[in-house]
Structure 1
Amino acid sequence: MLESAISSTIAMAISTFPILLFLSACSTVSLTKSTNAAQVQADAAQIQAAWVVIGEQGQAVARVITRAAVCPVMQQDDTELPMQVRAASGTVAQRTTLSSTADSKPSEFPVLTCEAQLKSGVISASVAGKPLPVPKPVPLKILVVGDSGCRMKLADNAFQSCNDVDKWAFSTVAKTAAGFAPDLVIHVGDYQYRENPCPAGNATCAGSPWGFGWDTWQADFFTPAAPLLAAAPWVMARGNHESCARAGQGWWRFMDPRALQQGRDCNVENDDMQGDYSAPYAVPLGAGAQLIVFDSSKTSAKPLAKTDSAYSIYSAQFKAVDHLAEQAEFSIFLEHHPILGFAPEKKNTSGVEVKPGNLALQSVLQDQHPQRLFAPNVQLLLAGHVHLFEAITFDTDHPMQLVSGNGGSSPDVDLPAKLSPQATPFVNAKVAHFNSTSQSGFMTMERASVTATDWVVKAWDKNGVLMTTCSVSKLKKECS
C-alpha cells in the first residue's frame, strides 16, 4: 500500500506540474509588464524635452533631454532600441563670453542629452510612452519661426519682459503655430537670449535664469516651444546667439543634427574656430525641392577681406552650396543673416535708416556669382536676425528673400512702409515688392500640390491672423 500511495502522489505531482509552470509563467509575464510599465512611467517623469531634428540628406534624429542617469528606450514601429548618450550631464568651466567676466558664469547642464536615428520610412516612434513626430517624404505644410528668445543683455541695457506673455510672445506663437498642424518646422536661429542677470527691482524679468546653461535653455526655448516640438520634426538653423562666445555649448549639446565632437563643442575658447563654423548640408523636401542649411553664426556686418580666415572658410562653404544646389531644381537657402533683406537702424534725432543685407556674406558670394550671388537653382532665401517679418521680390534675377525674425524676441523698429526708389539690399538688386511688420508671429509655406515646387507663403501674427500672402514658384514670385 505504501508503494501504491507513493506512486499515486508522484503521478499527481507530475500531472499538476504543467499547471504550476503555466501559473508561474503568467505571474512572471504580469510582473514583467508591471515592471516595464513602472519603468516607462519613471522614464517619462524624468524627460524634460523630446523632439526630432532633421539633418543631412533628411536623416531624422530623435533627441531627449532627461534628468535620469541613463538614456531611455525608444520605440520605432515594433522595434525597441536604447538611445545613446550625446552629452553627459555636468558643469562646463567658465569661458570667455561677449559679456564681462563678472557678468558671466560657468554653464551648468544637470541633464543628459540622448539621441537615436530614426529608420527610413518609420511609421511611428515614441520615447517612454511619449509620441514623437516622424518625417514625411514630401512635407506639404512647412512652418517657419525665428528669433524667439527673451532678451536680457546688460551691454545694451535691454531687458525684455520675460514674465509677460504679451511682451514676450514666443509661448503664444508656439501654441498658435502648433494648431496649424505643420509637417515640418524650420527655426531660422537665435533661440537663447538671456545672457545677463535681470537687474534688481526689475519685476518684468525677476526670477529669470541667465547665462548659457540648461535652466536658461529650458526657460527661453524648450518650455515655450513644447507644443511645436511635439507637432512636427524640426530643421534648426544656427544664429549669432548660438556662437561659441554665447550659447554655443547648448547649440552643440541640444540642437545641431550632427554628431557631437570634442573640440567642436564650444567648451574651450581655443577651439572656437572649429566650434563656430560647420559645413552646409541639404535636406530633401521631395518633388524637386530641398533646403540648404548654412551656418552663418559667426559672420560679421562688414565686408570680409580676402586675407581674413572667415573669408576662406565661407568661400569654400559657398562652393559646397553650389554643389548642393545641383541636387534639386528648387533650392531654399536657409541661414540666419538676411543676405538680400533690409535692417532698420533708428537714428538719435528722428527717422529710420534702412541698412542693406549682410555685407560680409555678400562680399564672398559676389566673388563667385557677381550679379545674382547664388547659383540659378537657389530660388528662395530664408533668414531671421532682423526682428521683423519681411518679404522681398526683385525685378532683377535674384532669389526672393523671406525674413521670419519676429518669433518673440524684442521687436526691431519698423522699416518704412514705402522704401525709397534707391533702396536696395545689394547693389545689383532692384526691388519689385517689399512688405514688412514688427508684429510677433510666424510664417507658413504650403505646397500647391504634392508634386509641385510652387508654394503659397503666408505670414501670420501670434494669434493666427493673416498678414501677408505670397505666391512663389521658379518662374514667378509675387506678394499681396
Structure 2
Amino acid sequence: MTTCSIRSVLSSVLLLPVATVLTLSACSTSPQLSAQQDGLQQAWTVLGEQGQAVARVVTTDTVCPVLTQDGKAQMMTARADAATIPQRKTASSANDSKPSAFPVLTCEAALSPTTTSASVGGRKLPLPQPVAKKIVVIGDTGCRLKLADNYFQSCSDSEKWAFRSMVEAAAKTKPDLVIHVGDYHYRENACPEGNKDCAGSPWGYGWDTWKADFFDPAQALLKAAPWVMVRGNHETCTRAGQGWWRFLDPRPLQSGRDCNAERDDASGDYSPPYAVPLGRVGQEAAQLIVFDSSKVPNKTLGKNDVPYQVYMEQFKTVNQLSDAADFNIFINHHPILGLGAGRNKEGGLTIWPGNATLQGVMHEVNSTRLFPSKVQATLAGHVHLFEALTFNTDHPVQFVSGNGGSSLDSPLPAVLPAGTTPYAAAEIAHFSNSNDVGFMVMERESQSWKMQAWNKNGKLMTECRTQGKKTQCQSFQ
C-alpha cells in the first residue's frame, strides 16, 4: 500500500462533473496505509450526469483511502468531513429533534469510462456496463419511526421490516444497474420507552441512522451494481437532506447546498434534472431522466410561486434531455400518473389521483400528454405499493415501486371504481397493484422492454412488455 496522503477540496459548481482525482506518484509501499484504511465503512458506485460513474466511500479514518483503477492508485478526494451539525429546524418539534452527528469522512473519485476494474481497500467496486440490460428498481425502504403519526415499525423483525431480505432477493437477479426512487431514511424520532419492537434503534439524521436504515441492509445491492439515486420527500432539508447531500447525490457537494443551515434551504431543496444513458440496442438508444421532486408541495401552485417557476424551467430541461434518446424513462419520487390510497376515518378506502402540483406545471410545457413525446415510461415511489398503469390515451406507462420495506399502504382494489384516473385526460387501460414487499426488474430485449414486479419471496406479481409507446401488462395476483 502507498503512504502518500493527498487531500483536495471540491470547489466545482453544481453542474460541473465531479472533481478530477489526483494520481499518486513516487509512493512507497508500507503497512501504515493499510492501518489507516481499517475504518472503511461503505464503498459503492453512483451514476450522475451523462452516466458519469463516481466511486464513493464512507470511512472513520481521517484521510481518504486509495482508489485503484486498472492497477493505478489514486487518492480519493474529501466530499464531506466528519462533523456534528448543530440542531436545525426539522419536520419534528425541537424537543423531538437533535443535532446530526457524522463521525465519518465521505470521499469520492470519478471513475474513467474505460476502467475495467476498480477497488477501494480491497473492496471491488461495481462498474457500469456499456448497455444496461437488467435494471432493479426499489423505493421507500427505511423503517418508519415517526412520533407525529404515532407509528413505530418493528425495525429488528425481518418480516415487519423486510428491506434486507428484499435486497438479497433482488441481488440474486444480477442486475447491471440499481435505481432507488427515493425515501431511504425513515427513523426520524426516538423509539418510545417500553416499545420492544424498535428498542435500541438509532434515530435522527446522523450517520448511525443512515447506516442502520439504508447502508447496512442495502449491502448486497450496493456490491452488485452501480446505483442511480433519486431523491424523495424524506430527503428534504427539514428531514434527511444532510445525509442525502453527504452520501447520495451524484454531483459535487457545495457549501450552502448541504441542508446544514435553514437559511440555505431554498438552494438545498432543489436540483436540476439530468440524464443517464443506458446504451444502444439495435437502432434504439435509451436513457433515464432523473428529476428531483422531493420538495413538491401538496397544493396548487400559482405561476408567481417560486416552486412553480423552478419546476417550469426544469421540465423545459427534461424536454431538451429527452431529444438525446429514442426511449426515455422519466424517474422521480412522486407518481404523476399513479394512484394513492389511504383509509379514511370511517375505515373506507380513499383513492387519490397523481401529483396535481406537477401535473399543473407539466401541462403548461407539454399539454395533456404532460411528458415529451419521447418519454415512454415513468417510474416513481412515494405510494407504498407496487403499481402498473397503462393508458388508452397517449400517456407513458407508469410504474410505482414504493413497496421496498417501509410501512405499506392499503392496497387498491383490483377493479377500480368507474371513472378512477390519475389525471383527467388519462384513460386507464390496465391497472394492477400489490402491497407485498418487493422490487421491479426492467429487462431490455432486442426490440422491447420486459418489466416484472416480484415480491421478496420470488413470486411474480405483474409482467409488462413495452415496445415504442405500446405497453401490455398481465397481473398474476
- Pairing partner for 1:444 from 424, 428, 441: 441
Question: How many residue pairs were aligned?
Answer: 443
Contact 2:236 2:295 in 1 (8 A): yes
How far residue 368 of structure 1 moved from its aligned partner, in angstroms, is: 1.4
* Selected match of 2:119 from 121, 126, 136: 126
* Residue 417 (structure 1) shift: 1.4
The 1-side partners of 2:469 and 2:182 are apart by 29
Alignment of 1:214-363 (within 5 A): 214-287=207-280, 288-363=285-360
Tell me, which stretches of 5 or more residues in structure 1 are unaligned?
Answer: 1-31
Give every structure 1 segment of 4 or more consecutive aligned residues whose post-TM-superposition deviation is greater than 6 Å. Answer: none
- Relative to its length, the structure with more helix (as a share) is 1
Given candidates 406, 419, 427, the residue that maps to 1:409 is: 406
Residue equivalent to 1:15: none
The one-letter code sitting in structure 2 at the alignment partner of 1:469 is E
Aligned residue number for residue 156 of structure 1: 149
- Overall identity of the aligned pairs, in %: 59
Tell me how far 1:71 sits from its aligned partner.
0.4
Q: Distance in 1 between matches of 2:298 and 2:382?
A: 12
Among 442, 448, 456, the alignment partner of 2:450 is 456
Determine helix, strand or coil for the equivalent of 2:38: helix
> Residue 457 of structure 2 aligns to which amino acid in structure 1?
N
Look up the equivalent residue of 2:82 and give its one-letter code.
S
Alignment of 1:134-145 (within 5 A): 134-145=127-138
Give structure 2 stretches of 5+ with no counterpart.
1-27
Amino acid at match of 2:291: F
Match of 1:431 in 2: 428
Deviation at 1:369? 1.7
Is 1:187–2:184 an aligned residue pair?
no
Q: Distance in 2 between matches of 1:230 and 1:465?
A: 24
Mapping for residues 97-112 of structure 1, pairs under 5 Å: 97-112=90-105
Q: State the 1:89 CA deviation.
A: 0.1
Corresponding residue of 2:63: 70
Q: CA deviation at 1:302?
A: 2.2
Secondary structure in 1 matching 2:452: strand
TM superposition score normalised by structure 1: 0.91
Q: What is the Cα deviation at residue 301 of structure 1? A: 2.3
2:415 matches 1:422: no
Task: After superposition, give the CA deviation of every residue in 1:50-98 in whole Å (9 maximum; x if it has no partner).
Answer: 0000000010000000000100000001211000000000100100001
Partners of 1:356 and 1:438 in 2: how far apart?
18
User: Aligned-pair distance for 1:351?
Assistant: 2.2
- State which of 467, 470, 475 in structure 1 corresponds to 2:469: 475
Report the residue type matching 1:460 in the other structure.
W
CA–CA separation in structure 1 for the residues paired with 2:52 and 2:272 = 16
How far apart are residue 43 of structure 1 and its match? 4.6
User: Do residues 87 (structure 1) and 66 (structure 2) align?
Assistant: no
Structure 2 residue matching 1:397: 3-state secondary structure:
coil
Secondary structure (helix, strand or coil) at the match of 1:369 reads helix
TM-score relative to the length of structure 2: 0.92
